[in-house]
Amino acid sequence: QKEVEQNSGPLSVPEGAIASLNCTYSDRVSQSFFWYRQYSGKSPELIMSIYSNGDKEDGRFTAQLNKASQYVSLLIRDSQPSDSATYLCAVTRGSYGNNRLAFGKGNQVVVIP
Amino acid sequence: DVKVTQSSRYLVKRTGEKVFLECVQDMDHENMFWYRQDPGLGLRLIYFSYDVKMKEKGDIPEGYSVSREKKERFSLILESASTNQTSMYLCASSPGQGYSYEQYFGPGTRLTVT
């Protein structure tokens, strides 16, 4: 079982719509959860952190965490062409004292003007 | 803002050369990391350092070594570069245990070994 799974293929959304990304993780002792945005040819950029169950909103981004079901999701509201990127889910690896992160392979989002 | 810098954006080396990749962070972070990122394989941890002169192997340490002589600087060394080490190399730092675990990435070095 992979530590972090992001199963959806490329996601195409029209401009102004909501993009929804999901991520599941296997380590029950993971404590911290992150979403990174990576533009083509660039390095990952941290956009959201979430530590407790429920929703966390930051601008057009909302992260949702459900530790019982071991999933974390990211919603992008009012999607813009500048949101076209690959989004990486990352969780702390509890077996390493949470200093290390496990990353998913990412979901590509394409916002169509 | 956290700033992580890497010595080169692009690097071309020959097989067998010794290669040094340098990373510097300016936020007094305890932890520093080296990853490589390859299409279809995602981000893979090569080495991790949690303090000066302290290091731990990551998931794919073979063929690499690291050095952390000062808190702000973490170097990745390819002792004898091989073509299968052609990749994007990413350095990251994080505040550390007892603080928070989010990692901040440098711009990356795209290394080509010919």
**Separation of alpha carbons B6 and B75, rounded Å:** 10
What is the pLDDT averaged over residues A54-80? 97
**Separation of alpha carbons A37 and A53, rounded Å:** 22
**% helix, strand, coil for chain A, step of 5:** 5, 50, 40
Cα–Cα distances (Å) from A96 to B50, B69, B101, in that order, read 12, 23, 12
Nearest to A43 among B96, B100, B105 (CB): B105
**Separation of alpha carbons A39 and A35, rounded Å:** 13
Structure letter (DSSP) for residue A92: E
**Separation of alpha carbons A92 and A78, rounded Å:** 29
Nearest to A103 among B40, B43, B107 (CB): B43
Q: Does any CB of chain A come closer than 8 Å to the CB of residue B31?
A: yes
CB neighbours (10 Å) of residue B1?
5
How would residue B1 be classed by pLDDT, with cut points 50, 70 and 90? confident
Nearest to B90 among A31, A43, A101 (CB): A43
**Separation of alpha carbons B35 and B91, rounded Å:** 6
Q: Does any CB of chain A come closer than 8 Å to the CB of residue B16?
A: no
Query: Is B107 within 8 Å of A46 when comparing Cβ atoms?
Result: no
* pLDDT number for residue A30: 87
Query: Is B101 within 8 Å of A45 when comparing Cβ atoms?
Result: no
Residue A50: closest C-alpha in chain B: B102
pLDDT tens for each residue of A76-113? 999 999 999 999 999 999 777 778 999 999 999 999 99
Residue B31, burial from CB neighbour count under 10 angstroms (0-12, 13-18, 19+): buried
Residues of chain B with Cβ-Cβ distance to A32 below 8 Å are 100-102
pLDDT tens for each residue of A18-61? 999 999 999 888 889 999 999 999 999 999 999 999 999 999 99
pLDDT tens for each residue of B53-89? 899 999 999 999 999 999 999 999 999 999 999 999 9
* pLDDT number for residue A1: 73
* pLDDT number for residue B98: 66
